[in-house]
Amino acid sequence: MRNNEPEMYLDDRQWSPLWEHYLEKAVAFDPLTAQEINCIVPIPDRTGVLIFTDTEVHFSKENAVKTLHRFSSIHSFSDYEVLSICLKKVGQFGSYKMPWVCPFFTLFPLESKKQTIWINPIKISKLFKVEDQFFTEFTNGLRIALPVHRRRFVQRAEIACLLLATIRRGVLHFGLPGDIPLDFLYFPNTSFAKTLSKRSSLKEFRTPVGEINRLYQQTYSLYHCEPFMYDPDDSDHIDWL
């Protein structure tokens, strides 16, 4: 594959016949029926994103963050804004470009903009470079051009996997034995998974069991309830005090 063969990969900054192909086969995004997400890719020069799973392509008119919010709300998964606040408080997962995570999978953004690519690190088959451009190939065969270099990409994937393992440990530590993050990750037999499995941060947890889960519950309550608690317009309606 060469960089001048865009029919072989998707680039969120350049239209190609492959975009047309996937848009034609895409179905409207329904968070109730969508399974584990491989990636969310913004459509270049258009509104909306494509959501890829192992077997399907979905289309959403909203950006990636709003699409994730719909998906999270339907399945009672973590609120991305609240989770980001928690992770910044913990201070062990960076301070920007926070991953989104649920107990089943995680997605990390490649850039800080809302309209950026979000990737499930477990679904990556390999990374490769052609001339000066890096690409990722997923386990379902999809290829995407990356707007970042390999080192930065691997770092973001590593943090996302660490967070996924941390959340799983907090939820499943009574039923799933394990001492290190790798015990809570189910990597496929791919070259990228082998790369991640060697990363030092996936061999030791950075937080106590359940710390993020507890902090999330506290922060969620304050984030959503505090505005009502201090709204003077509601005071006349509280007649049970």
Task: Print pLDDT tens along the chain (241 aa).
Answer: 444 465 689 999 999 999 999 999 999 999 999 889 999 999 998 999 999 999 999 999 999 999 999 999 999 998 899 999 888 888 888 778 899 999 999 999 998 767 899 999 999 999 999 988 999 999 999 999 999 999 999 999 999 999 999 999 988 766 677 889 999 999 999 999 999 999 988 999 999 988 888 888 888 877 666 554 455 454 444 332 2
Contact 128, 3 (CB under 8 A): no
For residue 231, what are the contacts with CB-CB under 8 A and spacing of at least 6?
Answer: none
DSSP string computed for 39-82: EEEEPTTSS-EEEE-SS-EEEESS-HHHHHHHHHHHHT---HHH
Based on the number of CB atoms within 10 Å of its own CB, is 232 exposed (0-12), middle (13-18) or buried (19 or more)? exposed
Residue type, 140: N
The token pair at 200 is: 């030092």
Based on the number of CB atoms within 10 Å of its own CB, is 225 exposed (0-12), middle (13-18) or buried (19 or more)? exposed
Neighbour-count burial for 83-107, b at 16+ CB within 10 Å, e otherwise: bbbbbeeeebbeeebbbbbbeebbb
